[in-house]
């Protein structure tokens, strides 16, 4: 594998530089003195921000985009073998690294590297950890999967003591990392276009845990079925947390909610007796994320008062139950949920939020995920009073597997639940304008571009 010399900055080209993680890594290299170029399919707010920071971005796919003198190319999993830029890079013998391989090499430059893994909650938990480290004055370097509002970015370049990043299991990319502290928030079936089944996913998370050195720590959710199977025989320290089990090292009791669904809870831990925390983000799932963040803070010897204050001030991350505005008395929220468990968590949290009718506009993400979880999606979405479906967002997939949002609508209606489907955003927006009334709560939901619907309604 090609090794980047961080003491001798070189010229690096990013294919798919507009991705949230790729853009962050490009910024980190730019600030480290590297000459950075990149390309993406189209101009976005992210690519325009990169251009403003002095990183040239080409649009479309063309071999002519590749500079004559680059030393290395960074690839995402979305880049196909037929991509003309990738073909030109290989023909010229230019070394390539995956996004995860670059992230892993970066981790080696820091005294403590934190990798946050799990099927759900990575971005929120990484954001919570980031806020704690910032409040503690540790000057961390951060790489997140969403925009952290307090820094107005998904990346921060700090000192060489702490590096915090998300660790994604898709294509086993997290196995290219070098964490000294790892978190496993949860493990469920997902990305079944890559993994065969849940057993294979669990084996990958076990391999991730084995990456942590003997002097390091693994923080793991004890609510994961048979979690001991993942931790047995590890050389590192194992720390458990749970929202349901009192036997975990970090456990939760007496969870209450305010009028906006924001939870307050007692935390029992090895560091202190029962201590109450209050959050400004809704839902029991965020209690679990916060407890994992506190366990990490204790692991890094950060004062508990600092962690409590930072979590109490944390108001969420871009596209995670994000308040977008209000139009005609209708509150508009946007959320990234695209897995049945995430949808259940978000819509359950929304039950405590003031509303008359709860609307969910859902854009399924990838044909393979939609087909695999059709029944589970229908049950989860039925937690909303009314469901509106957009077309499936294909992302990296080209085969529709013979399904569409019509199939999901039929599944939801078979449960006796009201559901509507429109093939265009314009039709959805017109329907919502005619049917949502003062006091309703509208959540746009999905990992694609469904956020545009709420933004269009708000005129933003």
Strand bridging mode 112-117 / 275-278: unpaired
Strand partners, 361: 388, 444
- Specify the DSSP element, H or E, that contains 65: none
Choosing from 47, 76, 119, 123, the catalytic residue is 123
Q: Where would I find the beta strands (DSSP E) of 294-339?
A: 322-327, 330-335
Is residue 122 annotated as a catalytic residue, yes or no?
yes
Tokens of 71: 């030393």
**Rounded Cα gap, residues 315 and 149, in angstroms:** 8
Residues contacting residue 428 through CB under 8 Å, at least 6 positions apart: 361, 388, 390, 422, 453
Q: Is the dihedral of CA 74, 79, 83, 87 positive or negative?
A: positive
pLDDT of the residue at 460: 65
Residue 414 CB neighbour total at 10 angstroms: 11
- Specify the DSSP element, H or E, that contains 100: helix 99-107
Token pair 């099927």 is found at 119
The radius of gyration of the chain from alpha carbons, rounded to an integer in Å, stands at 22
Nearest CA-CA partner of 280 in 223, 320, 251, 337: 320
pLDDT of the residue at 151: 87
Q: Do residues 340 and 377 make contact, with C-beta atoms less than 8 angstroms apart?
A: yes
Residue 1 CB neighbour total at 10 angstroms: 10
Q: Do residues 345 and 285 make contact, with C-beta atoms less than 8 angstroms apart?
A: yes
Choosing from 85, 166, 169, 322, the catalytic residue is 166
Tell me the pLDDT tens digit for each residue of 57-103. Answer: 999 999 999 998 899 999 987 788 888 999 999 999 999 999 999 99
Tokens of 110: 């820091």
Residue 416 CB neighbour total at 10 angstroms: 7
The list of the chain residues with pLDDT below 50 reads none
Q: Do residues 69 and 94 make contact, with C-beta atoms less than 8 angstroms apart?
A: no
Strand bridging mode 263-268 / 275-278: antiparallel
Token pair 């994320």 is found at 289
Sheet holding 358-362, edge to edge: 322-327, 330-335, 441-445, 358-362, 386-389, 419-421
Strand partners, 365: 393
Tokens of 425: 């955003």
Coil vs helix vs strand at 196: coil
- Specify the DSSP element, H or E, that contains 47: helix 45-52
Is residue 166 annotated as a catalytic residue, yes or no?
yes
Choosing from 47, 58, 85, 122, the catalytic residue is 122
Tokens of 188: 């469920």
């Amino acid at each position: 594998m090609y090794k980047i010399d961080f003491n001798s900055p070189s010229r690096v080209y990013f294919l798919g530089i507009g991705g949230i993680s790729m853009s962050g890594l490009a910024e980190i290299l730019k600030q480290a003195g590297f000459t950075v170029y990149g390309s993406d399919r189209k101009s976005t707010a992210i690519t325009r921000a990169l251009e403003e920071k002095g990183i040239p971005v080409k649009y479309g796919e063309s071999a002519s985009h590749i500079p004559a003198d680059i030393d290395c190319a960074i690839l995402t999993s979305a880049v196909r073998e037929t991509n003309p830029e990738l073909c030109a890079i290989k023909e010229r013998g230019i070394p390539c690294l995956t996004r995860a391989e670059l992230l892993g090499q970066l981790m080696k430059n820091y005294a403590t590297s934190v990798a946050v893994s799990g099927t759900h909650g990575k971005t929120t938990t990484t954001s919570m950890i980031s806020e704690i480290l910032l409040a503690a004055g540790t000057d961390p370097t951060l790489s997140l999967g969403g925009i952290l509002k307090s820094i107005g970015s998904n990346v921060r370049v700090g000192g060489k003591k702490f590096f915090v990043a998300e660790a994604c299991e898709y294509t086993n990319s997290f196995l290219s990392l070098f964490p000294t502290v790892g978190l496993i928030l949860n493990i469920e079936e997902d990305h079944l276009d890559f993994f065969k089944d849940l057993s294979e996913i669990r084996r990958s998370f076990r391999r991730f845990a084995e990456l942590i050195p003997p002097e390091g720590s693994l923080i793991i959710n004890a609510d994961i079925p048979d979690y001991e199977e993942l931790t047995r025989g590890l050389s590192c320290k194992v720390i458990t947390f749970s929202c349901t089990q009192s036997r975990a090292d970090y456990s939760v009791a007496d969870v209450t909610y305010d009028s906006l669904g924001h939870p307050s809870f007692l935390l029992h831990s090895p560091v202190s007796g029962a201590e109450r925390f209050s959050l400004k983000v809704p839902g029991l799932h965020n209690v679990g994320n916060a407890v994992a963040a506190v366990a990490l803070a204790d692991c890094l010897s950060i004062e508990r008062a600092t962690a409590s204050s930072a979590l109490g001030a944390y108001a969420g991350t871009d596209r995670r139950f994000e308040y977008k505005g209000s139009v005609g008395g209708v509150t508009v929220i946007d959320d990234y949920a695209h897995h049945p468990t995430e949808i259940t968590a978000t819509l359950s949290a929304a039950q405590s939020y003031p509303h008359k009718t709860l609307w969910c506009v859902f854009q399924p993400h990838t044909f393979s995920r939609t087909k695999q979880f059709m029944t589970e999606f229908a049950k989860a979405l039925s937690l909303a009073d009314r469901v509106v479906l957009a077309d499936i967002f294909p992302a990296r997939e080209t085969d529709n597997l013979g399904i569409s949002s019509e199939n999901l609508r039929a599944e939801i209606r078979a449960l006796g639940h009201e559901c509507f489907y429109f093939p265009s955003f314009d039709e959805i927006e017109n329907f919502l304008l005619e049917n949502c009334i003062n006091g309703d709560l509208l959540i746009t939901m999905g990992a694609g571009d469904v956020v545009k619907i709420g933004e269009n309604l708000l005129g933003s």
